[in-house]
Amino acid sequence: MKRGLALALAAFFLALGPSVQAQQTPASQSRPQYHGDYFPNIVLHDQDGRAVRFYDDVIRGKVVAINFVYTTCTTLCPLDTAQLRRLQQLLGDRLGRDIFMYSVSINGDSPEALRRYMRTYDVGPNWRFLTGSREDVTRLQRLLGLRIDDPNDLRNHNASIVLGNERTAQWIRRAAYENPQNLAELLTVFLQNSAPNTSRRSQSYAAAGEVTDNSRGAYLFRTRCQSCHTIGGGDRLGPDLAGVATARPPAWLARWIREPDIMIAERDPVATAMLPRYRNLPMPNLGLGEAEVAALIEHMRTQDQRRTAGPAHGH
């Protein structure tokens, strides 16, 4: 099965309320249609301080991707942002034309803080960052079907990405660990206003490619690391990891993957020396256990060995 097919079909309809296919609800019933009768015109401000209305300006008639972040987060937000940055690259010039992407601050970040955050992550055009009052943003999260966590414990906030088509009232919730290719597929095929035809679907799945390595380490790398790193493919947001598994002391590398925020706070010399090279973008704490870290390092070693063996290795 092509990558993304099962996930996309299984999650195609997500209920924001009583019914996921709201556009099919009889008009005589009082069930909301997930348009202006459901989504409010809460006023938010973008990274340039411009006021926007959530329903009329942000989602009305649009295919959108929305997530909720805060700029000082050191755990899930960096991963979420890196995933969406890769999605932005995959969407190309469709972003801002027929697909729109928004990140909403959950703790009232100022427009200035949002601009700094965007520079840190090298965010390109047509991806807008929004901020508003805590009460308004919490209301939007509820309306989009997101779990509301303890507002005093932002480290564990809901980092799901919500994809939707307001015109057809179709909405999907995906995890922060979702493959950006799958997200692009949902936005460009399944959530478009007209039903996708077979040829478009086949081409999209073929472009996604096959998953050839099903090891635990490969899965963790795909879902946690590859939006920021490659192994032998050059730098992304973070450094190329080719050779890192042998170049760094094993204990240092394992701890760096497991608790980078603590090592940065401790001013580890190797860790702090890397920061200026990558726009002072800190490595996020992904909450990985020792077994997961070991699997990741083993995957990096395996990839190094395959690269060293060259093209003949795969024959």
pLDDT in tens, 79-117: 889 999 999 999 999 999 999 999 999 999 999 999 999
pLDDT bucket at 208, cuts 50 / 70 / 90: very low
**Length in residues, the chain:** 315
Q: How confident is the model at residue 315, as a pLDDT?
A: 42
Using CA atoms, how far apart are residues 228 and 238, in angstroms rounded to an integer?
Answer: 5
Amino acid in the structure at residue 278? Y
pLDDT at 222 over 70: yes
Query: The tokens of 13 are what?
Result: 């309809």
Q: What is the pLDDT of residues 50-75, one digit of tens each?
A: 999 999 999 999 999 999 999 998 88
How would you class 27 by CB atoms within 10 Å of its CB: exposed for 0-12, middle for 13-18, buried for 19 or more? exposed
Per-chain mean pLDDT for the chain: 83
CA-based torsion, 22, 26, 30, 33: positive or negative: positive
Q: Which residue would you say has higher pLDDT here, 9 or 255? A: 255
Domains of the chain, CATH where assigned = 5-208 (3.40.30.10), 216-314 (1.10.760.10)
